Amino acid sequence: MTDQTEIQIYMKEALALAKLSLGLSSPNPPVGAVIEKDGEIVGEGFTQQIGGDHAEIVALAKAGDRAQGANMYVTMEPCSHYGRTPPCSDALIKAGIRRVFMAVTDPNPQVNGKGNTMLKQAGVETNIGSLSEEARDHYQAYFKYIKTGKPLLVAKYAMTLDGKIATKSGDSKWVTGERSRAIVHTIRSQMDAIITAPGTIRVDDPLLTARDSKGIPLSRQPLRIVVDSHGRTPKEAKIFSQPGDILIATGSEEAAAHFLGMGDNVSTLVVGNESGKVDLDKLLIELGNRGVLQIMTEAGETFLGALFDHQIPDQVMAFVAPSIVGGAESPSPVAGIGIEKIGDAFSIDNIVVDAIENDVLVRGRLKTWD
């Protein structure tokens, strides 16, 4: 029997592959798979774009005949049903895979243990739970999507050591260092969507694209969402000249009409409430219906405050720079109504702190969905 150390080594490789599927596979889960035989990796892969091969199938194709009698390490239970593609469990059985190690089961009601059962009934030895904690963290967006039909939202911001996102004059370039900004581009590339508001566009005029180290936009861009209740986003904003699709969520048909003729990559969605403002819950439901699993904010204190007032963020990602700005009028990351008592503050757990040159990145969860 393969010992626990070897199992974890191959599962870590599978999890690394799964990260390559982030932002690519939605609404399918981002899965990684490794096929090992006699201590050698003979096949590996990650889930492709919707309608494409799942991780297990990519790995099997690379392994070929060497899959016979081999072990597979996969970050999530193989599917057992016909969807856009045939069942992966059936493919593993036909390929002669001997043992399948899974990090977690798939909570999708169409699977949820059925893949494991199918394998076992065919004589394939199965094991569930290797690096399950890391896998559960990786799959928080997918877990939320399966449970609620809504995407997970990451509240990302950069601030100084005294909690400021800009000076009193509004200058914010740049709060954090070059390395932190490069990491943000990597994170953007792993997201299904980036969400912002017209205030940020008017003040910063950002591109909101995922770019490489040379500043060139990547071939795949996350959906850029502008929450603009009243149609106040400038038509000449740089965001409209960049590659990738843009969705403008408005509160009325009148506001949506402001963006007619903006280009084939620009669409609108009316999700207003009784007061004519964008209903954030309705927006999240519609985004889930469109297969969006994970969203990151690129916005100022007003929009972030509204999100927290509505208790929407699931995770926090805060870049902290070693500088002091000061000033009572200098904005902080989160405005809004806020809370009355410290005891009611949002509690963050599963905290990870990373040093990024002179900056610090603090990540944590506000909610868990597994």
Please, where are the H alpha helices in 34-121? 55-63, 88-95, 114-121
Q: Which of 168, 155, 167 is nearest to 323 (CA)?
A: 167
Secondary structure letter of residue 65 according to DSSP: G
- Please compute Rg for the chain using Cα positions: 22
Decide: 364 and 349 in contact? Cβ < 8 Å: yes
User: Which residues, 6+ apart, have CB-to-CB distance to 121 below 8 Å?
Assistant: none
Neighbours of 337 (CB within 10 A): 9
Per-residue burial over 152-173, b = 16 or more CB atoms within 10 Å of its CB, e = otherwise: bbbbbbbbbeeebbbbeeeebe
Task: For residue 366, give both structure tokens.
Answer: 């506000």
Task: For residue 295, give both structure tokens.
Answer: 């969203």
The Cα-based distances of 4 to 67, 80, 129, 145 in angstroms read 21, 27, 11, 31
Element (H, E) at 302: helix 301-309
Strand order in the sheet with 266-270: 266-270, 246-250, 223-227, 193-196, 294-297, 152-160, 315-321, 359-365, 349-356
Secondary structure letter of residue 67 according to DSSP: G
User: Which residues, 6+ apart, have CB-to-CB distance to 86 below 8 Å?
Assistant: none
Is 56 catalytic? The answer is yes
Partner residues linked to 217 by β-bridges: 211
Place of tokens 């969860």: 365
Neighbours of 176 (CB within 10 A): 23
Task: For residue 22, give both structure tokens.
Answer: 């982030």
Q: How far apart are CA 22 and CA 24, in angstroms?
A: 5
Marked catalytic residue, from 56, 77, 298, 301: 56
Q: Which residues are catalytic?
A: 56
